[in-house]
Amino acid sequence: MTLIRPLRIQHTLSNPVSVSGFGYWSGLDVRIEFRPAAIDAGITFVRADLPDQPRIPACVGNRIDLPLRTALASGTASVEMVEHIMAALASEEVDNCEVWVDRAEMPGMDGSSQAFVDALRSVSRVNQARSRARLVVTEPIRVGDETSWIEATPSHHGEYYVEYQLDYTNCPAIGRQCFGIETGRDTFANQLANARTFLLEQEAQWLRDQGLGQKVTYQDLLVFGAEGPINNTLRYEDECVRHKTLDVIGDLALAGYDLDARIVACRSGHRLNAEMVRCLLHQAKLEDDLRKSA
């Protein structure tokens, strides 16, 4: 069961701020601009490069399945690789924002959320005169199977805690890792924001064979060979699991609420993370309907 309760005031940005880079998959240059938005507007991606500048609200109902990344679509317009941007916006408590983009694929940057956090912090947040609602988990919810799953349980003291259990026993250079954190602006910025995307060498080669990732180098993200990252060095010994934790935060931001919960994910990916969001929202709606009918 989940409940919806007010927690804090909403925020937007004082001024627009931009980030430029290129898409990992397409190799195309892309520029994004974070713009202020009105109360209760939420996060909306705007495809400035398409006729009529179609808008794509960042909600789980607009999620579509693509391999290895989170993508959203509305009508014929889509955006992809949004999870690192969503994690930055959620952790910086920027609730209402238009993300104007000139490509479908978001810039990969260094494979982390750091560039987006830096951009958001380069301008001021503006308080907005309405509360931001939160989803409060009151009983356990679990999706997945025995090998990969994600679970939400009640928090101890009203916190939002996220833990990830990583198992790459097929790659001893990564192995098994576990990381958990009580989320917040500073904890995310200091411990998660710069954790980078990673791939196994054979996965990277398969993508190149498909004509994807042609512009990406070993310095643009972590590619693991048998001995560890190829032509790169780790920022943390457990950087891989930290990045997976970042991904969970970005995916769960598609709920459109702050969370009051303890989230534990084991070998979960973008699809399962989105399924958890749907379950949380479904339970919250049921509880709200019950209250209204009482």
Structural domains of the chain ordered from first start: 2-293 (3.30.1700.10)
Q: Which of 11, 84, 243, 270 is catalytic?
A: 270
For residue 286, what pLDDT band results from cuts at 50, 70 and 90?
A: low
Contact predicate 4/130, CB 8 Å: no
pTM, entire model: 0.93
The whole-angstrom separation of Cα 34 and Cα 32 is 7
DSSP conformation letters of 145-201: -SSSEEEEE--SSS-EEEEEEEEETTSTTTEEEEEEEE--HHHHHHHTTTPPPEEEH
For Cα atoms 192, 233, 264, give the angle at the middle one, nearest 5 degrees.
30
Question: What is the tens place of the pLDDT at every residue in 81-115?
Answer: 999 999 999 999 999 999 999 999 999 999 999 99
> Does residue 214 come out as left (phi exceeding 0), alpha (psi in the -120 to 50 range) or beta?
alpha
Q: Round the average pLDDT of the chain to a whole number and report it.
A: 92
Active site residue 156: no
Q: How confident is the model at residue 289 (pLDDT cuts 50, 70, 90)?
A: very low
pLDDT of residue 291: 46
Q: How confident is the model at residue 44 (pLDDT cuts 50, 70, 90)?
A: very high
- Give the helix/strand (H/E) hosting 260: strand 258-266
**Confidence (pLDDT) at 290:** 40
When pLDDT is cut at 50, 70 and 90, the band that residue 287 belongs to is low
Q: Of 42, 44, 41, 40, which is closest to residue 32 (Cα–Cα)? A: 44
Mean pLDDT of 5-23: 92
Amino acid at 246: L
Beta bridge partners of 55: 46
Going by C-alpha positions, the residue among 69, 100, 99 that lies closest to residue 84 is: 69
61: three-class secondary structure by DSSP = helix
Cβ-contact 258, 234 below 8 angstroms: no
